[in-house]
Each structure stands twice: as structure tokens, then as C-alpha cells.
A and B are shown apart, each in its own frame.
Chain A
Amino acid sequence: MQYVKPRDEAELLAHLQRDGATIVSGATDVLVKMRRGMRPPEVIVDIADLRELHGVSKSVGRVVVGAATTEEALLNDTTIRLHFPLLTRVLASLASPQVRSRGTLGGNVANASPAADSAIPLLVYEASACLVGAEGRRELPMDEFFLGPGRTALAKGEFIRSFALPIPQVPWSIFYHKVGQRQGLAISVASLGMLIRCSHGVVQEVRLAVGSVAPTPMRLRVVEGLLTNRRLSDSLAAEAGELAASTVCPISDIRATAAYRRQVIGDLLRQFLASASGPCAGL
């Protein structure tokens, strides 16, 4: 195993063109896999101290987050808290303080776990990833980034430079719940995030994303379509819950059965919609 620390993006790109090169930042995932028997990567390219990939900055109409920004730094970032409160909420329940000190947004996303918590806010805020490869840069909507468990649209030799999140022009009401087996360090069994805007009880716009109930984190666009321009009611919530439960495609594994996961997603959505039609619904 070779261990290299590129000093800038050009060096990083050069190292990534080598066979067996793997990017590591917090190492919170690769060291767990190695302990469980995975062969160490041939070349570890450590980007934890690469300043160019760190930090949160504002550009025209959007906020850009460096891929190697730690989850803890993001959790404490006031720009993120102000514009993307759902991301802050998700990070607060992600793993543990120790893991958040080292783990990065880029790492959580690039590992492409179906349970990757931070994928949900990135999907509902319609973020895009800035990818850099030998051929140059490209911007990819997060919706097209995840291809399957552990599989992403990243090409060989390409890395995630940053994420761009468009700043919402009108504030959303936010909802998020992760069902796990305990509070701290829980790997989600099922999770649902929702952004919604209502006017006089009618849904103007809604975005839904789920985790751990499909091969990748994903938007529930069919359910969003059902809800848009409809008046919130118990029967609409029930209908949406059923549609959500039948849209997701979970598996049974060590943490829960597929049937349980479907039920949880449907129930969570019904609860969210009931809260959304509560006292603040007219706002």
C-alpha cells in the first residue's frame, strides 16, 4: 500500500490516474472496511488536508461546499444553517461527534451507501456535484449521481471537488426523520426528508427523498406529483403514504425487513403531512 498526500488539485488528479488509487479523507469508512477484511487500496490518496477542497462559500444564488469539508464543520456553519436547515438537521443526527469530526460530505456521498444520510438534503435541495477529471470539469445533478449500492456516476480518475446548493428563494418547511435502532451512531433503517411549501392549506411545492429503502437514496417524484396543488387532508396524507410505501423498493437485511421499511416510509409521510397541515399551514 502506498500513501500519498497531494499538495494541490493538479497533484490529486495526477495520482488518481494511477491504477488502484482510492481517495481517503476522514478514513471513517475505509478503515472499517479494512478491519472487516477488505484488502487495503493499492494507493491511498489522502485529501484531508487539501485546503482547496474545504469550506463553505457563497456565490451567485448558491452555496458551494468543498467535498472535504467535515460534517462537524458543516453542522456548525451559519450559512448552511440559515439557507439549508434540513442539512443541519441531518448532520446533527449523523453518526457520532467523533465520526463527524473526521467524516466529510464528499466521503459520505462518494461511498454511495443506500443509507447515506447526507444524500437526502442534497437531493431535496437539488444540489449538484462538481466533478473533476482528466478531461476537465463537469457538473452533475445529485439526482443522477447514485447508480447503486457503492456505485456512483464518478468516472475512473475523477473526483468530487464540491457541491453547489441553490439558495431557496422562498423558505421551505422542513421535515426529517431517521428510524434506526438507537439514537447515536444509528445506521438508518429508513429515513425520509421533506421540503414543503403550502398556501392556505394547498401544497404549492413539495420535495421528498428517502434513504435505506432502495438501492440508492432517491427522490419520490411520483408522490410529489400526487401532492402538488392538492389541499392537505387526512385522506390525501393516507393516499400519499400508500403511494410512497409502494414506490420504494427496499430489501430485508440485518437491520429490518422490507415490509417494515415500506410501512415506516408510508407512516412517516402521513405524519409529516399531518404536521404540515397543522396551525402553520396557512403561512
Chain B
Amino acid sequence: MKIRFTVNGLEAELDVNARHRCIDVLRNQLRLTGVKEGCGEGECGACTILVDGSPVNACLMFAPQMDGKELRTIEGLAQGDALHPVQRAFAEAGAVQCGFCTPGFVMSTVALLERSPEPGDDEIIDALSGNLCRCTGYRKILDAVHLAIDLSKRASLQAQSGASAGTVPQPGGAGALPCSREESHKCNM
């Protein structure tokens, strides 16, 4: 069955097996292996991707249902070597142990912050309620989301002031790692 869709901004036209799931196409045909398969039943969220901006379990979607959709996976977040603010925040806050659940948590967080840039704790917890971490717990993941909120705010402020003043980003600004060691200790408390 032929389908057309965009993934991480690129147009794709593929022949897919209608029995396959979205995650099979992403991992096996497109080699987007950042999309992890945990439970395969929509319980763990490791395969979370964005479909037209909404978080979706790639294991609970038939391959033909990708047709006409705009998909984003963890691979599409970084711009060249520059990590997405949410990725930077997860690394800085140490919200990772084995890392298997991380792409899913990051994608759920991206979906949340695009919809609601400054969510409260209840909103964050609800947005991440479809993702499981079995290594460590959720404290540092929450810290990472808070850090991501700060980083995203700073990035958009910088983008605004940069645009209005026509200046290049300052050293230590958008280009550099925006979270110092000290700050990361703070967010871990």
C-alpha cells in the first residue's frame, strides 16, 4: 500500500504493509530507531512521536494511518549539532538512566511545551502520564521539564531581542550550553 507523509520535515513516499504499525515503518523502513518499542500496547510511551503536533504511541497506529500526516520523531529535534532545548534540559538535569524511555519523555514534553509554554506541575504530570520510566523515578524528569521551560523561554526571548535589535547571539547565549553546572545542581534539588 502506497502512502505519503512528512517525517521530520522531509517528504516520504513509501510502500507499506497494511498489517504493519507506524513504529515498524519508522524503525525498520526509515531506520528512525530513536523511536523505542517498550510494551507495544500503548502503556509505556517509549514509542511516543508527534503526529500533526499531538503525542501518539507509534505502536498503536497502523502504517496506512501515516498517510497525509506530519510526523516528528526524536531524530527531528536537534538542528545540526544544536540540541533542542528539551533535549538539553534532560541531559543537564540528569533525567536519564538507561535512556530507553527518554525519547518518549522528550517527545511528550515537546508536545506539552508547544501547546502550553509554562505549564504547572499538574499539567506536566498529566502530560507525562502516558510515559513510564522503570530505572530511576520521575523527580529528575520533572526537574528536566522545568529546566526545559526556562531554556525555551530564554531561547525565545533571545530570538525576540535578536530580531528586534538585529544583533548576533552573544557568547554564552543561544549558541552555548545555556545551563551552567551550578544551575544544573540547583535543578536537581
A: which residues have CB within 8 A of B?
Answer: 1-3, 5, 24, 26-28, 31-32, 35-36, 40, 44, 46, 48-49, 72, 92, 95-99, 101-102, 183-185
**B42/A98 in contact, CB under 8 A:** yes
**A95/B65 in contact, CB under 8 A:** no
Q: Which 3 pairs between the two chains have the least Cβ-Cβ distance?
A: A96-B130, A184-B129, A3-B18
**A98/B55 in contact, CB under 8 A:** yes
Bound-state Cα–Cα, A278 to B62, Å: 49
B45 at the interface (CB under 8 A from A): yes
- Shortest B29–chain A CB gap in Å is 17
Bound-state Cα–Cα, A1 to B131, Å: 31
Residues of A within 8 A of B18 (CB): 1-3, 44
* Among candidates B56, B64, B68, B126, residue contacting A3 with C-beta atoms closer than 8 Å: B64
Bound-state Cα–Cα, A184 to B126, Å: 8
**B64/A96 in contact, CB under 8 A:** no
B154 at the interface (CB under 8 A from A): no
Bound-state Cα–Cα, A212 to B67, Å: 36
**A46/B65 in contact, CB under 8 A:** yes
B87 at the interface (CB under 8 A from A): no
B19 at the interface (CB under 8 A from A): yes
Residues of B within 8 A of A32 (CB): 41-42, 60
Check A96/B45 contact, CB under 8 A, given A3-B18, A101-B56: yes
B75 at the interface (CB under 8 A from A): no
**B130/A95 in contact, CB under 8 A:** yes
Check A102/B130 contact, CB under 8 A, given A32-B42, A44-B18, A49-B68: no
Residues of B within 8 A of A185 (CB): 42-43, 129-130
**A27/B65 in contact, CB under 8 A:** yes
Interface centre among A5, A35, A95 (most CB of B within 10 A): A35
* Among candidates B19, B55, B57, residue contacting A1 with C-beta atoms closer than 8 Å: B19
- Docked complex: B39-89 residues within 8 A CB-CB of A: 40-43, 45, 48, 51, 54-57, 59-62, 64-65, 67-68
B179 at the interface (CB under 8 A from A): no
**A98/B45 in contact, CB under 8 A:** yes
- Shortest A29–chain B CB gap in Å is 9
Bound-state Cα–Cα, A31 to B64, Å: 13
B1 at the interface (CB under 8 A from A): yes
- The residue on A at minimum CB distance from B49 is A98
B4 at the interface (CB under 8 A from A): no
**A40/B45 in contact, CB under 8 A:** no
A–B complex contacts, Cβ < 8 Å, 29 sampled: A3-B62, A5-B67, A26-B60, A27-B60, A27-B61, A27-B62, A28-B42, A28-B60, A31-B59, A31-B62, A35-B40, A36-B41, A40-B19, A44-B18, A44-B62, A46-B64, A72-B54, A96-B129, A96-B131, A98-B48, A98-B60, A99-B42, A101-B54, A101-B55, A102-B60, A102-B61, A185-B42, A185-B43, A185-B129
Residues of A within 8 A of B111 (CB): 97
Residues of B within 8 A of A36 (CB): 41
- Docked complex: B1-35 residues within 8 A CB-CB of A: 1, 18-19, 21
Bound-state Cα–Cα, A49 to B67, Å: 10
Bound-state Cα–Cα, A27 to B64, Å: 11
**B1/A3 in contact, CB under 8 A:** yes
- Shortest A40–chain B CB gap in Å is 6
- Shortest A229–chain B CB gap in Å is 39
Bound-state Cα–Cα, A36 to B65, Å: 21
B108 at the interface (CB under 8 A from A): yes
B174 at the interface (CB under 8 A from A): no
- The residue on B at minimum CB distance from A72 is B54
